[in-house]
Amino acid sequence: MHHFDLPQPLEDEGGFLNMAIADYFEDYADVLYKNFGDRVKDWTTFNEPTQKDGGYLCGRTLLIAHAKAYHLYNKRYRESQGGRIGIVHNIFWFEPRTDKISDVQAAEAANEFNFGWFAKPIFSEEGDYPQIMKGSIEYASKQEGLPKSRLPELTQEEIELIKGSADFLGINHYTTFYCSPIEDDDKERGLFYLPDMDANCVVDAKADGSATLLVKSDPIWIQEVLKLDQGTI
């Protein structure tokens, strides 16, 4: 349903920074179901939600928009059309650079931030964001002198709305990153260099693949990605 671009008039209203977009997206989904649902049986609401500009504020709107589209289908169309609603996630895999505890923790945090940000609220039994993500962003926000976390809290009503709102999870898997904690004198900043998760993550430059670092062949770790897809989040 959505692959990165919004119509310009909606961008002019703030895009996914504007919570009204969630209602507009529900209306858009209604048009799609009504006109194409007799033929289309597998729907994905969003492609690669972590790639949206606007960070955590946009992420909250996107999760709610996804859930609204899912529940609309359940209420009006599922019985007659018999389709499925899912979401497509871009999932990298993050391994520690060494067996040091600090590297292991950095890789765990990176996996939670990359996969758990959108998967845990939808697919876990308890819903909500990963605890490590909530704690890390709250701590970083305090260090920046902010009065509250940059990660907007989900209300209990929103948690219940989002939880379980998908019939399947689609995966785009690109490569594996190797992680260590961020150091003040880091000379090599990886593609994933995110202070919020205290992880500096780089690819294996010797791995086969294309010139872009996002498409390096490191296939052994795809089994770990599939474990995540089976619900071990």
- Measure the CA–CA gap between 122 and 231, rounded to whole angstroms: 11
Residue ranges of alpha helices (H) inside 37-126 are 55-76, 78-81, 101-111, 117-123
For residue 212, what pLDDT is reported?
63
Q: What is the pLDDT of residue 224?
A: 62
For the chain, 233 residues long, the average pLDDT of each consecutive 10-residue run is 90 93 97 97 92 80 97 97 94 88 91 88 94 90 91 96 95 84 59 69 68 60 58 46
pLDDT of residue 227: 61
